[in-house]
Every structure is written in C-alpha cells, then in structure tokens.
Amino acid sequence: MKPLLVALAGLAIGGAAPSGEAVVRSMHDRYAGTWYRTLSFVQHNTIYHPGDSVERSVWFERASIPGILRIDFRDGTATATGNGILFANDSQYVVQGDTVATAIAFTHPLMVLGFDVYAQAVERTVGQLRQLGFDLSIVHEDTWQGRPVWVVGAPAGDLRSRQFWIDRERLVFVRLLEPGRRDTTATSEIQFNDYRAFGGGWVSAQVVFLANGQRRFLEEYADIKVDVPIGADVFDVRRWKETK
C-alpha cells in the first residue's frame, strides 16, 4: 500500500473511535488491489442438535469476489447432489435437483463484511450495511480473543443490537451479533475464527454460529485455494448441472 494510504489508515484506526464508514474505508484501503478475487474450499459442517447429538455434512464452495458465491451440497461420497445455493446479482437462488426451486432478493452480510468490502467501492459497501440495518454512526473499542477491535453498530456493553466487530490490526471481520430472526429475545452470533493469510488477503478457516452463546453450527474449511481461474459459467444458475 502506498505511504499516503498507510498514513490515512493509521489515522482511521488510531486514537478516538472513528465512524463506521471510516472503519469500512480503512478495511478497503488496506487491501485494495491485493485481496484475492476467487476463492474455493471444501466445507465440513457440524450441526449441534439438542441432547448433544451432531449431524455432519460436506459442501463445496466457489466464490467470485465481490458478490458471488456458489455452494454445492455433497453426499457421503463427496459427489455433488445437484442441490445447493447461489448468491449472485443481490439475490439468493436455491437449487434442488439441478433446478432453481426459489429465488429471492438477498444481500449476504458475511459476504459483504468478510470479502466484498475489499473488492468493491466503499460507497457500495456502506450502502449495503445500512440497508442490512447496521447503525454506522455508533462505534466503540473493545477486545476479542485477546485482540483489539472496533465494534460498529452498538455502544459499549450492548450485545443485543445488530453489530459487527473488526480486528483493528488486520482490519478483518471477526464477529457479528444481532437479535434472533425467529426469536427476537435470543441473540444470534457468528464468529470468523482461525484466520490464515492467502493471496494478499485472509481466509477465516472456521466459522461458528451460536444462539444465546450455545454453538449450533460449525464450518471448517479445507483445500482452500485463491486466485485460481473459475469460469463464469460456474456462477450461471442456468448451467448448474453441467458445472457442478
């Protein structure tokens, strides 16, 4: 990064808490031009059911950054089932038997905060975050897993309002908190853990979903690859079957 940008980034993350927009701009400027543009990995899932029983599954994911993510569900033999999800064009497409079953307008907050922020205009990211319900005017300092963070969207001590946490040194997303969607008295939490350096950026190799502090879903990534060419046809939902 150029010296001027380094200086500006230092101003944005030092001293008094900046605005949420300044945090987003610092994230973008730190990795602009160096963050990877494609990503693929095998995702090993664990669902935690009441009574301590667990259920496991495997997905294969490919992304074109910003804004596009394809998830292929696999069976026990690691073969694509023809089922999955595509996030593209600000929409979510659910595929069953290689055919689109549903399509709805959707902006994926984890894509925006974990990946897209580094590869698209700051103004677009800010607009998406506001649309998703984050109050960018509220920012405070905290620590998370022993590291200093910016918390955007809630004042100190508030663990209920919709908020995202950003590692102040690496400028990567580490935590999201919000009221539960089905039960608004509950608190939903998502953590991006186990960050590893890849291709001028970072990949969180473990993602944890919790409800009221109890682990509900765990994602663990293997065979991570970045900046490997992925054909545009892979992200064309009309060509799902032939590109799985």
The CA-CA-CA angle for residues 155, 167, 176, to 5°, reads: 55
3-state SS track over 46-102: EEECCCCCEEEEEEEEEEECCCEEEEEEECCCCCEEEEEEEEECCEEEEEECCEEEE
CB 109 within 8 A of CB 132: yes
Overall average pLDDT of the 57-74 stretch: 97
Position 108 scores a pLDDT of 97
For residue 57, is pLDDT > 70?
Answer: yes
Beta bridge partners of 175: 165, 191
Q: What's the mean pLDDT when you consider all of the chain?
A: 92
Position 16 scores a pLDDT of 66
Overall average pLDDT of the 89-95 stretch: 97
For residue 59, is pLDDT > 70?
Answer: yes
For residue 106, is pLDDT > 60?
Answer: yes
Where do the structural domains in the chain lie, given as residue ranges?
3-58+108-223
Contacts of residues 141-144 at CB distance under 8 Å and 24 or more positions apart, as own/partner, are 141/17, 141/168, 144/174, 144/175
Cα(84)–Cα(189) distance, integer angstroms: 24
Of the pLDDT bands very low, low, confident and very high (cuts 50, 70, 90), residue 87 is very high
Cα(130)–Cα(123) distance, integer angstroms: 11
Token code pair at residue 214: 């109890």
**CATH code that applies to domain 3-58+108-223:** 2.50.20
For residue 231, is pLDDT > 90?
Answer: yes
Position 204 scores a pLDDT of 98
pTM (two decimals): 0.91
Cα(166)–Cα(144) distance, integer angstroms: 9
CB 80 within 8 A of CB 73: yes
Position 76 scores a pLDDT of 72
Token code pair at residue 65: 């950054």
Position 15 scores a pLDDT of 55
Position 5 scores a pLDDT of 44
Reported as a single tens digit per residue, the pLDDT across 181-202 is 888 888 999 999 999 999 999 9
Which of these, 242, 184, 239, lies nearest to 212 by C-alpha position?
A: 184
E-assigned strands of the chain? Answer: 38-48, 54-64, 68-74, 80-88, 91-96, 99-105, 139-144, 147-152, 163-167, 173-179, 187-198, 201-211, 214-226
Overall average pLDDT of the 124-146 stretch: 98
Portion of the chain with pLDDT greater than 70, in percent: 93
Beta bridge partners of 100: 95
Cα(134)–Cα(108) distance, integer angstroms: 13
Position 143 scores a pLDDT of 98
Which of these, 239, 240, 243, 207, lies nearest to 224 by C-alpha position?
A: 207
Of the pLDDT bands very low, low, confident and very high (cuts 50, 70, 90), residue 6 is very low
Beta bridge partners of 73: 59
